[in-house]
Structure 1
Amino acid sequence: MSSTDGREEDVIDILLVEPNPGDTRLFTETFDEAKLLNTIYTVSDGESALDFLHQHNGYEDTPEPDIILLETQLPGKSGMDVFAELEGDPVLREIPLVVLTSSDAGEEIVRSHGLEADHYLRKPVEPEEFVEFVRSVEEFWVAIVRKSSPTECSGE
């Protein structure tokens, strides 16, 4: 149908790359409760993240995500390896990437590898902090959408 209200554009596909099942559950529950319309896809390791992004090995029907939330501490292929592969792919490097860090030093560690994410967020420790975390992701997403939007609303 003709969609001039932009509703489909408001739905974002999020790829969460997170090895901790408890954190994954908190992330997905909090995103489900958020005002932001989203579909969250989760994988728990670097190989699965790359399979998802390249649409291989059972992920052939998955969409390209609008945003990637990447924990760098992953089993097998590390988050840094995933990040480096994203940077080397001209299509995948265009997807906004939020690196999830466990500490303030996490951002410095990523940068020390010569990699630069679009945004860095410290992972919540307490369940109630996940709501604020989701707000941070929402704010980042709105900033990206506004920055990349080819048309601006006039009259405001």
Structure 2
Amino acid sequence: MADDDEDDRLLTADALKRSRLRNEIRFVVDGEDLMHYLHGEGIYAADGIEAPKPGIILLDLNMPKKDGREALAEIKADPVLRRIPVVVLTTSKAEEDIFRSYDLGVNSFITKPVTFEGLAEVMQTLAHYWFDLVELPQDGENDIT
């Protein structure tokens, strides 16, 4: 999960736990950190923090350094990364953000619910859909980033 808001990261982790998702979740704090993670660069280099390829990416749009739109465009333009499903999970309801995200290749666009119960329900549905129903390419581990 790429999200600059620590509270959102903690709430999402709790909501995923409540949904009984057994997959490991890893967090990055902005789009630049996400791209370093995905390319195994910086602190994620061989001698740094382990960075297994994610099975799905939860992506906030509005982050510092490199926003989610820029990161999404880079991911979907990269032949190695483009198969990783990307789900935008953001507070934005702007039609421009929805259209642009799909134009850039996002797999799903979800507006973050305002309550924890709503977020827990979304995470349970998301986990069921992406890990129980959908067939994903099996060329890496199915972690959530």
Could you say which TM-score interval applies, normalised by the shorter chain? 0.7 to 0.9
> What RMSD in Å do the two structures reach over aligned CA positions?
1.9
Aligned with 1:135: secondary structure?
Answer: helix
Q: Could you tell me which amino acid in structure 1 is paired with residue 125 of structure 2?
A: S
How does the TM-score come out when normalised to structure 1?
0.76
Identity %: 33
Give the Å deviation of 1:78. Answer: 1.1
Q: Deviations over 1:105-150 (max 9, x none)?
A: 25x42423631311111112112212111122113313322x769x
| 2:16 matches 1:31 | yes
Aligned with 2:43: secondary structure?
Answer: coil
Alignment gaps of 5+ in structure 1: 1-15, 150-156
Name segments (4+ residues, structure 1) moved above 3 Å. none
Mapped partners of 1:44, 1:98: distance in 2 = 16
Question: Larger relative CO (CA 8 A, sep 6+): 1 or 2?
Answer: 2
Residue 129 of structure 1 corresponds to 118
Mapped partners of 1:90, 1:140: distance in 2 = 24
Residue 85 of structure 2 corresponds to 96
The answer to whether the 8 A contact 1:31-1:38 is kept is no
Aligned length: 132
Give 1 or 2: higher strand fraction.
Answer: 1
Residue 11 of structure 1 corresponds to none
Alignment gaps of 5+ in structure 2: 139-145
Q: Which has the larger radius of gyration?
A: 1
The answer to whether the 8 A contact 1:80-1:110 is kept is no
